[in-house]
Amino acid sequence: MAMPTDSATTAAEMLRDGSCFQWYVIPLLAFVVYVYAVEVERRNWNLLFAGLAFWGMDWFNEIWNSLVFHFTDYAPLWGAPASTAFLILIGLNIEICFMFAVAGIAFGKMLPADPKSKLLGLPNRWVHAVVGSGFCVFVEVLLNEVGALTWDYSWWNTRVPWLIFLIGYLPFFVVSFWVHDMASVRRKAAVVGFIYGVDLVAVIVFGVVLGWI
């Protein structure tokens, strides 16, 4: 029977330990609130919902990553055992959470106004999604190098970066940009609501009720 890796054990011991709290979490929270407040003030619903979609997709990934650890009792695909103010899930600390909360808005701001325009002869949304995903994988590699983010599977590391690219990040960008370009605010809200609905049900079922994550 597989035994948990050292990094997974360390992360599991830190999971939702309130004694790790640091006060810098509060200004980080204020920054996230400010970023969204600016878009609400400008009534920029494209960026607002694109950011929420990006964040919601990350929560979905973090939930199933926690389930990987539960069912294997070996390791999640990625873990976050390094110092943190609060470890929410085994691969998601409060700092990562706040980063993804604003990342979708930041990447959305770089999109050309015309979704049908071309970059390098290719659809601009796909170019931005590929470049953005590649950038995120590069950052993950750096985090792994310093031990802040751990990979314990031979098929999920720098030797197989395309899996991290395709599963770890590309869906975030594709869904975020898709929501960004929707013509109807109601449709944007419906899609984002569905994403968060799935996340919420998963947290309640797998976290609160079953205690698996």
For the chain, which residues make up each domain, given as ranges?
Answer: 6-209
Write the pLDDT tens digit of every residue in 165-190. 999 999 999 999 999 999 999 999 99
Write the pLDDT tens digit of every residue in 83-131. 999 999 999 999 999 999 999 999 999 999 999 999 989 999 999 999 9
The 3-state secondary structure of 33-45 reads HHHHHHHHHCCCH
Report how far apart, in Å, the C-alpha atoms of 170 and of each of 18, 26, 49, 74, 181 are. 33, 30, 17, 26, 17
- What's the average model confidence in pLDDT over 62-81? 97
Rounded distance between C-alpha atoms, residue 114 and residue 69, angstroms: 42
Q: What is the pLDDT confidence band of residue 2, given thresholds at 50, 70 and 90? A: confident
- Gyration radius of the chain's alpha carbons: 18
Q: Quick one: which H or E segment has residue 88?
A: strand 87-89
Write the pLDDT tens digit of every residue in 22-41. 999 999 999 999 999 999 99
pTM assigned to the model: 0.94
Rounded distance between C-alpha atoms, residue 51 and residue 188, angstroms: 11
The 3-state secondary structure of 108-128 reads HCCCCCCCCCEECCEEHHHHH
- What's the average model confidence in pLDDT over 152-163? 92
